[in-house]
Homo-oligomer: A and B are copies of this chain.
Amino acid sequence: MTASIKDVARAAGVSPATVSRALGKGPVSEALRAQVMEAVRVTGYRPNLAARRLRSQESGTIGLILADIGNPFFTGVARAVEAAAYEAGLRVLLCNTDEDPEREASYLALMQEERVTGLILAPTRATADRLAEAPPAMPVVLIDRPGPAGLFDSVLLDNAAASAALVDHLVAQGYRRIAGLFGQTSGTGVERAEGYRATMARHGLAPSWRFVPPQAEAAEAGFAALSREGQPEAVLASNSLLLMGTLQAVRAKGLRIPADLALAGFDNEPWTGLVEPGVTVIEQPLAEIGRQAMALLFERLRAPDAPVRKVMLSGRAILRGSTAPRRVLASML
């Protein structure tokens, strides 16, 4: 229906090859170039990307598969990735799996069919495993979540250290019965849980934890379950959704923070600073994660056989009122 390069060629009185060169970078005389531009204007020509990709055998697109487009962590990363891609003249094909391994698999297939140049991926644990058996045909960079060891470039947070920092902080503030809620679909949840467990052990404290689906409602239920095992003095939540769910549960039960329960978690979302008291969190360097992922991808495209790299970034603890020093007397009244 719409004009093709032949229509433009006819309108300009030149061959299709010349039109292609005039629009691309080939050598074309100024006169003809002007004629072509005019013909493009007249015909309303827009290049057909499908045809271009088919012929040139490159998509000019990188794929980005995220677990949850509603999670500000991922949207932050997506922004950075898109900015870097835009700068490099690449498009981003963004897909959202909602933590569903089936959709993840379907999007992985899609990425192959689109012949994307590279792929940035935050895999669920299920997919991380499968990735080793059937590696995609294009370069892959994993973000946020670990994959099969040593197979893919990756950008990760030092989750164990971050968890340890939170536990250390809580202990220093006088809390002992520290419970943990961790996301069960991601390797990240596992790492954070492990950091929590190890640090609790180091302090000689007994851990009390649960893996739950990464949804606020699940966190509410998880918190209720933890409470039944013995009321904790503090709760550590491994992502912002779980943190929010916990806070909702706390509000519903009418508990005071931090007098009845201290709270700490991950991701410095705006609301964590708006509630009162503010919630202590580990802030992740979202933009840096996105930038590094793109950088790794470009490196890999340039040198396909270079050794696999793993970029480990550190979170920054933002201490707020939710983890104020424990006042034993007040809580005993």
* A59-B70 contact in complex given A247-B274, A251-B274, C-beta closer than 8 Å: no
Q: Which of A1-60 contact B (CB under 8 A)?
A: 1-2, 46-51, 53-54, 59
Least CB distance, A5 to chain B, in whole angstroms: 13
A309 interface hit (Cβ, 8 Å): no
A75 interface hit (Cβ, 8 Å): yes
Contacts of A203 in B (CB 8 A): none
- Closest 8 pairs between A and B when the two form their complex, measured CB to CB: A271-B271, A50-B53, A50-B54, A46-B112, A49-B113, A50-B50, A70-B75, A51-B54
Q: Are B113 and A96 in contact (CB under 8 A)?
A: no
A115 interface hit (Cβ, 8 Å): yes
A275 interface hit (Cβ, 8 Å): yes
A110 interface hit (Cβ, 8 Å): yes
Contacts of A75 in B (CB 8 A): 69-70, 75
CA A70 to CA B70, docked complex, whole Å: 8
Q: Are B50 and A244 in contact (CB under 8 A)?
A: no
Among A59, A91, A109, A271, residue most surrounded by chain B Cβ atoms (within 10 Å): A271
Nearest B-chain residue to A86, judged by Cβ? B103
In the assembled complex, 19 residue pairs joining A and B whose CB atoms fall closer than 8 Å, in A order, are: A2-B112, A2-B115, A2-B137, A48-B54, A49-B114, A50-B51, A50-B59, A69-B69, A69-B79, A70-B75, A70-B79, A75-B75, A82-B96, A91-B110, A93-B93, A248-B273, A271-B275, A274-B275, A275-B276
How extensive is the interface on chain A, given as a class?
Answer: 35 or more
Contacts of A91 in B (CB 8 A): 110
Least CB distance, A30 to chain B, in whole angstroms: 25
Least CB distance, A33 to chain B, in whole angstroms: 20
* A1-B137 contact in complex given A271-B271, A271-B274, A275-B274, C-beta closer than 8 Å: yes
Nearest B-chain residue to A2, judged by Cβ? B137
Contacts of A72 in B (CB 8 A): 70
Least CB distance, A295 to chain B, in whole angstroms: 21
A216 interface hit (Cβ, 8 Å): yes
A205 interface hit (Cβ, 8 Å): no
A174 interface hit (Cβ, 8 Å): no
CA A269 to CA B47, docked complex, whole Å: 41
Contacts of A216 in B (CB 8 A): 270
Q: Which of A260-311 contact B (CB under 8 A)?
A: 269-271, 273-276
Nearest B-chain residue to A72, judged by Cβ? B70
8 Å CB contact of A113 from B48, B109, B269? B48
A221 interface hit (Cβ, 8 Å): no
8 Å CB contact of A47 from B53, B93, B113? B113
What 1/0 flags go to A298-328 for Cβ under 8 Å of B?
Answer: 0000000000000000000000000000000
A213 interface hit (Cβ, 8 Å): no
A94 interface hit (Cβ, 8 Å): yes
Nearest B-chain residue to A58, judged by Cβ? B50
CA A291 to CA B78, docked complex, whole Å: 24
A76 interface hit (Cβ, 8 Å): yes
Contacts of A115 in B (CB 8 A): 2, 48-50
What 1/0 flags go to A56-96 for Cβ under 8 Å of B?
Answer: 00010000000001101001101100100000000101101
What 1/0 flags go to A172-186 for Cβ under 8 Å of B?
Answer: 000000000000000
